[in-house]
Structure 1
Amino acid sequence: MSEWKAKRFWKEAAVEDADGGFTVKLDGRPVKTPAKRALILPTRPMAEVVAAEWDAQEDEIKPHLMPATRTANAAIDKVATQHAEVADMLAAYGDSDLLCYRADRPEGLVARQAEQWDPMLEWGAEEFGVRLEPRTGVIHAPQHPDALKKLSAQTHALSAFELAAFHDLVSLSGSLILGFAAAAKARPLDELWDISRLDEIWQAEQWGRDEEAEAMVAIKKTSFLHAGHMFTLCCADH
């Protein structure tokens, strides 16, 4: 027995004003989230991106081709209902931030980590008034509680939509600081992604490329870039 698949039933997807933001309607009927909540987007540009995804569907609805809609659904159905828990989980990355765990050899890798990661830690210090401290090796060494408290406050201050996008920026890069840098457009997203992949890039230079691994990385990079775009849309002109 073949699996039932949803079919396109509408002619037009349109953006309309709604209480608390903007919504997308399909032939006048508002789109709902999987949990049957109202799909209310914080900015018109974000709503237009979501509407474009619905308009792009052809005979069969393909959710994997609707990343903005998925992010919006996650923000409404998941993040908004457990905001503090999500913020705590992401803020915890600060205590084991990728940028802080350094190699002790070879010299070329040590130098490259310092060259690329130290400026990002300095950016975090200037932006938030706290500096996470690097250490050599992979054994966990706690950061100063005051630094973590300030970074946690910044994380908790994000809206549900911002936090939904921020989740991928942090979890995919392994770094709270790189997540904040991506959200603030401190550097181009492509550059920040490469900074987060420094160790893997180094290994590929030494031992050769792994096509299967690179295919997985490409998928993650696409998700990282999408998250950065969604974060920007949260703050776009209404």
Structure 2
Amino acid sequence: MLHLHTTAAMLRSLVRLQSHVGSILSPTQMCPRSQQFRFALNYSSATAERRRFYQDVSISQGEGGLYEINLDRRKLKTPGGNLFTVPNEALAIAVATEWDAQKDTLKFYTMHLSTLCNTALDNPTHRNKDQMITAALKFLDTDTVCYRVDEPHSLVELQKNEWDPVLHWMENRYNVTIGSSSSILGPEIPEATKDTFRQHLKSYTFWSLTGLEYVITQLKSVVLSMGMIDRHLTVEQAVLLSRLEEEYQIQHWGNVEWAHDYDMFELRARTAAGALFVHLTSESSTVKRKLMQD
């Protein structure tokens, strides 16, 4: 059971990250690579800003026990025209918090939970669970922590010291062999390993797979994503490990400060939203409120 104060704490952290992203750059200032990446993943996340057109945000329970989001008295709908409904109260609260946190201007590109819900509801690519699992597992062949460098020695040691413990945890946790390689072809992942992960991911709901695939795409790593979803890594740790080589180069050659800050906050916000989405759609998410005592 997910307690209200736990959900609220996670949301406050996420909203702070989203606020950082929105305050650093406007959508028109994003680098071309980020714009292309966003469009490919978030078909429903408009980059144009819009003035806030509602005063109050609320949730209500509709048919089949599903929860709806209300902007004033109007029911929220998806870009595909479907009624915006979510499977449990905790996720409804999370989405409503995103909408309520918007100020005078709606910054849709910061509303990651809403976008993930839109994607799950509209399913614009018309995929089923098996296709989503196959797409997610393709990242295992090019996993960030599996590709190692030959030089310089300091980076070789850094990758070994930082990535090996997570990789070994993953192998022990799921009783699989993954390995690493400095070859341009990367390590050869055994089919038995892929079969194990495939069976594990089949236990996820369609909604949870939507969130998991999103996280894997952000980190470009199944290992780091599963480590975070299984609560072995924090969001901050997973993001730093995914950017290990980039951070190493920055320490040696410097960086453009605003660009580094934007990339870091953006990746943290997306990763945190994806992880929260997975947890809210895969666990018992009825909100438990404390009773007021006289």
What is the TM-score of this pair, normalised by structure 1? Answer: 0.86
Q: Who is 1:51 aligned against?
A: 96
Q: Which structure 2 segments of 5+ residues have no match? A: 1-47, 287-294
Is the aligned partner of 1:32 residue 2:32?
no
Do 1:95 and 1:148's aligned partners in 2 also have CA atoms closer than 8 Å? no
| Cα shift at 1:129 | 1.5
Secondary structure, aligned partner of 2:274: helix
5 Å-filtered alignment, 1:107-126, equals 107-126=153-172
- Residue 116 of structure 2 aligns with which residue? 71
1:226 aligns with 2:284: no
**What SS does structure 2 have at the residue aligned with 1:153?**
helix
User: What's the % identity of the aligned pairs?
Assistant: 22
Q: Specify the SS of the correspondent of 1:23.
A: strand
Higher RCO, 1 or 2 (CA under 8 Å, sep at least 6)?
Answer: 2
- Contact kept, 8 Å, 2:219 with 2:242, in 1: the verdict is yes
* 1:38-93 deviations in Å (ceiling 9; x for gaps): 32212211101112233344665442343221111112112794133222111111
Q: Which runs of 4+ in 1 moved over 6 A?
A: none
How far apart are the structure 1 equivalents of 2:137 and 2:85? Answer: 26
Aligned-partner Cα distance in 1 for 2:118–2:144: 29
User: In the aligned structure 2, how far is the partner of 1:175 from the partner of 1:60?
Assistant: 34
Cα distance in 1 for residues equivalent to 2:248 and 2:101: 39
CA distance in 2, matches of 1:129, 1:153: 13
Ranges in structure 1 where 5+ consecutive residues have no aligned partner: none
What's the offset of the Cα at 1:132?
0.6
CA distance in 2: counterparts of 1:228 and 1:65, whole angstroms: 15
Tell me the amino acid that sits aligned with residue 16 of structure 1.
Answer: Q
In structure 2, do the counterparts of structure 1 residues 49 and 106 end up closer, same or farther at CA, with 3 Å as the change threshold?
same
1:160 partnered with 2:212 = no
Match of 1:131?
177
Instruction: Judge conservation of contact 2:178–2:187 (CA < 8 Å) in 1.
Output: no
Aligned residues: 236
Alignment TM-score, normalising by the size of structure 2: 0.71
Matching residue of 1:8: 53
Query: Could you say which residue in structure 2 is the equivalent of 1:174?
Result: 220
Residues 90 and 155, structure 1, Cα contact 8 Å, conserved in 2? no
Contact 1:93 1:174 in 2 (8 A): yes
SS of match in other structure, 2:68: strand
